[in-house]
């Protein structure tokens, strides 16, 4: 999914489940803190609360707005 589509579908603050390295790693439940951005080679990334580096949008699952988020 490109940044334009992601941003049209999901607002900043959307709850997400992120996977640090692979989907076999324990996930972290957090929220997006920036709009998505397209990088080189077709990578689309978004920053999330509690993490310095951005996550590829294919390394996260969007959750319902009322989903409980970890501190």
Quick one: pLDDT at residue 40? 86
Structural domain harbouring 15: 3-62
What's the number of domains the chain is made of? 1
Distance CA 58, CA 45 (A): 9
For the stretch 16-60, pLDDT in tens is 999 877 778 888 999 999 999 999 888 999 999 999 999 999 889
* pTM for this model (two decimals): 0.86
26 within 8 A of 18, measured Cβ to Cβ? no
Q: Please check whether residue 35 lies inside any domain of the structure.
A: yes
Q: Please check whether residue 70 lies inside any domain of the structure.
A: no
Q: Please check whether residue 50 lies inside any domain of the structure.
A: yes
Of 5, 6, 52, 2, the C-alpha closest to 30 is 52
Q: Please check whether residue 68 lies inside any domain of the structure.
A: no
Q: Please check whether residue 9 lies inside any domain of the structure.
A: yes
Distance CA 55, CA 44 (A): 8
């Amino acid at each position: 999914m490109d940044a334009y589509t992601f941003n049209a579908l999901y607002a900043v603050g959307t709850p997400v489940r992120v996977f640090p390295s692979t989907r076999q790693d324990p996930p972290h439940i957090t929220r997006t803190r920036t709009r998505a951005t397209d990088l080189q080679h077709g990578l689309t990334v978004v920053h999330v609360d509690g993490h310095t580096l951005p996550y590829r949008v294919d390394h996260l699952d969007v959750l319902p707005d009322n989903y409980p988020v970890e501190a």
